[in-house]
Amino acid sequence: MTQVTSGVGHHVDASTLLLEAAHVTMRFGGLTAVNDVSLNVHAGEIFGLIGPNGAGKTTFFNCLTGLYKPTSGEVRFAGAVLPPQPRLVVRAGMARTFQNIRLFHNMTALENVMVGMYSRTKTNAIDAVFRLPRHRREEKESTERARELLDFVGLTGAADMLSRNLPYGDQRRLEIARALATDPKLLLLDEPTAGMNPQETRQAEELIFKIRDLGLAVLVIEHDMRFIFNLCDRVACLVRGAVLVEGVGAVVQNDPRVIEAYIGAPAEELPAPQVGQPGANPGEGIADA
């Protein structure tokens, strides 16, 4: 069995291909938002997707999760082609969070997490209306599991709070707990630290490592370069809808094309880094800019 060691010292089982996006293209009229993107994510891996605003990262996520049907290309998960239907994608084992938090604000934290379990329950309308034994059993199991997930993400004691009354960072955690409630094999996080302070960002990093330690793979979009390069086994940079470069963090963050994409100056016109400035030492690059 082949293993590779990531930039953060984690061993990834390279023989277990979980997600395979092959030549995914998404066009809206004359606009090509995602252009022939191919990437693979393995079991137990944290894969980062970076790029300037408008690079097509969220559109690509939407293609993976069935919100959009790609114009061309295909997405395979655990060896099977994924249908462009979010409900079936979730059942296959892929869950996601959103760039803009999407919680049920008039429901409690516990109820929000229980909603995530709906795709895995067998109760039908008749069971629920007449509160038949299967419904009562699944409701009890779902409640217990939801409390476990709230504890796992650091929201112990918040079960009965309305989600709208939770602090911003806790709402982000709650959305992750709801995604975990679907029992995924791969978790997709769209800018999980957006709007967070440094302490909340560190807590988010620790939580993602905990999720990976459960055996899940994670695919994450993020603009915080220090966060992404500390976190990920591999990183791909998307620019104008296409993959510019992919590899371990140290390779990607020092690639002149990535620096150009973020700073805006051609790589050959960038001033040579001076001692003590970002990029002057090995291992420094766009994450420190």
Tens digits of pLDDT across the chain (289 residues): 334 333 343 444 555 899 999 999 999 999 999 999 999 999 999 999 999 999 999 999 999 999 999 999 999 999 999 988 999 999 999 999 988 888 999 999 999 999 988 766 556 555 555 465 665 677 788 899 999 999 999 999 999 999 999 999 999 999 999 999 999 999 999 999 998 999 999 999 999 999 999 999 999 999 898 999 999 999 999 999 999 999 999 899 889 999 888 766 554 443 443 333 334 443 445 565 4
Domains of the chain plus CATH, in order, are 3-93+184-288 (3.40.50.300), 104-183 (no CATH)
Tokens of 161: 């709070």
3-class DSSP state of 188: strand
Q: What is the pLDDT of residue 71?
A: 97
Report the alpha-carbon distance of residue 246 to residue 259 in Å, rounded.
14
Q: What is the pLDDT of residue 127?
A: 53
Report the alpha-carbon distance of residue 232 to residue 75 in Å, rounded.
22
Tokens of 67: 């919100």
Q: What is the pLDDT of residue 5?
A: 37
Report the alpha-carbon distance of residue 51 to residue 94 in Å, rounded.
23
Hunting for tokens 């409640």 — which residue is that? 143
Report the alpha-carbon distance of residue 181 to residue 118 in Å, rounded.
9
Task: Spell out the residues 6+ positions from residue 39 whose beta carbon is closer than 8 angstroms to its own.
Answer: 21, 47, 236, 243, 246
Report the alpha-carbon distance of residue 61 to residue 48 in Å, rounded.
12
Q: What is the pLDDT of residue 1?
A: 38
pTM (two decimals): 0.82
